[in-house]
Structure 1
Amino acid sequence: MAALAGIVAVGAGPLAATARQTTASAPAAAAQAAASITIMARDYSFDAPDAVSAGPVSFVLQNEGQEEHHAQFVRLNDGVTLEQFGAALRQGPAAAFPLVTFRGGPSVTRPGQTSFEVTLDLEPGTYMMLCFIESPDGVPHLAKGMVRPLAVTPSPTVVMRDFAFDVPEIRAGVQTVRVVNQGPQPHEMAIARAPDDVTPEQIAAALERLEAPPPFPMENLSGMQALSSGLEGWVTVDFVPGTYVLLCFVPDPATGLPHVALGMYAVVTVR
């Protein structure tokens, strides 16, 4: 146990398994993903990320303008293009309504104020942020340019099984990761970070020789506690480039060993 504790400061046991490594791709320059986003509203524009990961996302609107603003999210219906939506919107807001699904958003916020936090469970697709409020001249803010697209990309999904992690590509940056337990037993996803000078191969070798103290420390970054079979959750992590390890320490009823000792770990490289 002391050997494994030296790696991630939690349970241990003998381990005999081969390494599972996933190499991630570089992030798109403008893309961001977050569980909590502040939208900056001005006269007449929104300042917000270009993209977020699907799943629960919390938004607040900070009004830095001289007029009231809100942020109405709409999702373009499948098959509708931005060009089609824009052409309909130029005919008047009501002409665009059949092309979209209204998805909520922070409500009317006075100048210099911040809205209540609004949490939306977003599915992948193309969204628009709109402000329908009219200026004193009777022109709605969206007609003055207060329109901004938002791409909602599929969340990276980690699948937990008996006894393995299936890990997709994970980009550097803030990522909301969907965690799904498809195994019969409960599983957790502890996340640890390796030192920059440690390779995935060295991590795998250390995890295969838990009877000996590891030659390097691992930083425990938290993660997702145990989920019963068939359940899922989301965890938001600010991934910096480097090497990470996913581990499960839930004990196996048959052997009494933590699942990591039965091979339930994954080495993940984020670039």
Structure 2
Amino acid sequence: MKKKNIVLALCAFVGAITFGQEKEPTVPEATEIYEPVPPKVIPGKNGSAPSDAIVLFDGSNLDQWISAVDSTVAKWHLNRDGSMTVKDKTGDIQTKQNFGSVQLHIEWRSPAEVNGEGQSRANSGVFLSGLYEIQVLDNNDNSTYVNGQVGSIYKQHVPLAMASVPSGEWNSYDIIYHAPEFEKGQKVKSGTLTVIQNGVLIQDNVEIKGTTPYIGWPKNPPHGKGPLRLQDHRDNSRVSYRNIWLRELD
């Protein structure tokens, strides 16, 4: 900011305060801010990663991932089309790196060949901090409990819409996650989640009540940064993932 503008802004601010009450500024410089300048980010195209993103999966390898069970090499199938598919009964996989608040882009696909019903049809999940699940499920002509359907914050928040594409086609999730905050072992601020599925807002800055267990109430164990985890539901779900990247918001 130029020295002249700084002087004008200060004069306007000081002149606007009378007996402890702030008056409306009378010069434009009083409401103009020049620093800090936001960093420049080059956007990606068609869902590809922007210039400041961390690419977690681009289809070439599983180097960024490990088994969530024992931290060994991720055992899911790596496909020729640039995707990976859950390998049944090998367990969840998670990132080697830990993250806090993030903007996450991830694409997933249920099999075109329909198999199973309810929670047993193409069931998987995306876990933020390894704890908070956004449900992945094929709900096309397949009903289930609505706080466990596709796009739900599992057992906590029903999605605003069911915005899935036909079975066998690629869905996208764009997620804004603000991690909860803890002090002295106690939660002092809840985390939040916003989810856009295929361009449709399905979770609007909802409060994370705690963990997302299958049985029981949400719990709030204190934690810092954690991995991104993808679920093997152990029912031959055959869910595939591709084009996974995130931007750290911390």
TM-score scaled to structure 1, two decimals?
0.20
The structure with the greater share of residues assigned to helix is 1
The structure with the greater share of residues assigned to strand is 1
TM-score scaled to structure 2, two decimals?
0.22
